[in-house]
Amino acid sequence: MEFPRLGHNLTSPMSPCEGMLKNLSLDAIQLCEREGNKSQDSSIVEMEELPVPQNIKISNITCDSFKICWDMEPRVKERITHYFIDLNKKENKNSNKFKHKDVPTKLVAKAVPLPMTVRGHWFLSPRTEYTVAVQTASKQTDGDYAVSEWSEIIEFTTADYSTVHLTQLLEKAEVIAGRMLRFSVFYRNQNKEYFDQAREVHGNRMLPAVKDNSGSHGSPISGKLEGLYFSCNTEFNTGKPPQDSPYGRTRFEIQAETLFNPKTNLYFGDFYCMYTAYHYVILVLAPQGSPGDDFCKARLQALDITNNHFLTCTVDEEAGDGALVFRHSQDVILEVIYTEPVDLALGTVAEISGHQLMSLSTVNAKKDPSCKTCNISVGR
């Protein structure tokens, strides 16, 4: 296999590669299968004298980058011209055996002082386990490479989206949010048994549960934040909650002011779709100073409750009595997570007249990675 010469222009026609290895001069990117401990490439010559990287360390891990360094013998540093980095998703024993394997990625980088940064959203995804091994290499006059044996294999896991990435998602969601409609209640649908258990086992309370893995793969709240899902979207023609639901035919309704008021903080959590025209925005409501509020402050983008594109709480100036007015965005489906227990006595429980539309459930729903409306360029 012939490698491109040094200085080969990777930005055209391969423009996605620009900046892949920050602070590196990239020689080539090759995809290969590696079996055992040695390279199988016919153009690569084994040279025992080249040192095997030792004591590999991974640091500064983000959702789409990491730093890597290792120990090297000073006497042979000048002979090393390149590093080969073999990066693979860690095998999942529970994965579908009929699904295509992820293609291993070998990064060929010009030797630079360590540590070096590996960055690239097209081969690094958030919240994903990877393995990495390294070879040192010396480019020969004939264009071939002399290489060391592979190092030991190191495992690491990429991070969640940062607040910078969530801000990018927020800005995309704002574009399609649409106009604001008034509403008066939050509602939560479940089956009858759920509410029976809340009364009989949990002291008439609905208790927070850990959020599932629906939405963006890099969401910092999936599998971590505890809360209760509520809806607030209304039908355009009636201004009332719809009579159908994916989650059950028994509905708890509560006045909006009980959960959402000036003593509540509001956070943007996620923006996604499920291979349909519908887009979902996840918001978090957390009473000020609560554990949920502390969790969100460190991870999510806070919203002004009186002025944002999704969910607002304002004082009715015309009425003059201090009454609160609530509005939700029309063109996205809001999933509102309230971080504290809710007593059933604060609202009403009744059966809806519509149907349970299971196909619209978002429980553990996977985000469409091809949607240009709701994806950002740091994994999915």
Distance CA 284, CA 239 (A): 23
Quick check: 213 pLDDT over 60? yes
Distance CA 216, CA 139 (A): 42
Do 70 and 57 touch, CB atoms closer than 8 A?
Answer: yes
Res 150: pLDDT: 92
Dihedral angle sign, alpha carbons of residues 42, 46, 51, 52? positive
Quick check: 285 pLDDT over 50? yes
Tell me the CA distances in angstroms from 28 to 14, 132, 331, one per residue in order: 11, 18, 45
What is the rounded average pLDDT of the residues 29-33? Answer: 37
Q: Does residue 203 or residue 108 have the better pLDDT?
A: 203
Quick check: 19 pLDDT over 90? no
Full DSSP string of 108-133: EEE--SSSEEEE-TTT--TT-EEEEE
Residue 356 — very low, low, confident or very high, per pLDDT cuts 50/70/90?
A: low
Res 364: pLDDT: 67
| Percent of the chain clearing pLDDT 70 (strictly above) | 79
Residue 133 — very low, low, confident or very high, per pLDDT cuts 50/70/90?
A: very high
Q: Does residue 10 or residue 144 have the better pLDDT?
A: 144
- Residue 18 CA, distance from chain mean position: 23
> What rounded mean pLDDT belongs to the chain?
82
Quick check: 7 pLDDT over 60? no
Res 30: pLDDT: 35
Res 42: pLDDT: 42
Do 216 and 156 touch, CB atoms closer than 8 A?
Answer: no
Long-range contact set of residues 110-113: C-beta below 8 Å, sequence gap at least 24:
110/6, 110/24, 110/25, 110/26, 110/27, 110/81, 110/82, 111/80, 111/81, 111/82, 111/83, 111/136, 112/23, 112/24, 112/25
- What residues pair up with 183 in beta bridges, in sequence order? 326
Do 274 and 365 touch, CB atoms closer than 8 A?
Answer: yes
Res 245: pLDDT: 84
- What residues pair up with 303 in beta bridges, in sequence order? 266
Do 361 and 189 touch, CB atoms closer than 8 A?
Answer: no
Full DSSP string of 177-238: ---EEEE-EEEEEE-HHHHHHHHHTSTTEEPPEE--S-B-TT-TTTTT-EEEEEB----TTT
Res 329: pLDDT: 96
Quick check: 331 pLDDT over 80? yes
Q: Does residue 360 or residue 83 have the better pLDDT?
A: 83
| Percent of the chain clearing pLDDT 90 (strictly above) | 52
Res 99: pLDDT: 37
Do 202 and 256 touch, CB atoms closer than 8 A?
Answer: no
Q: Model's pTM, two decimal places?
A: 0.78
Res 108: pLDDT: 84
Q: Which of 28-42, 112-126, 162-176, 323-337 has the lowest mean pLDDT?
A: 28-42
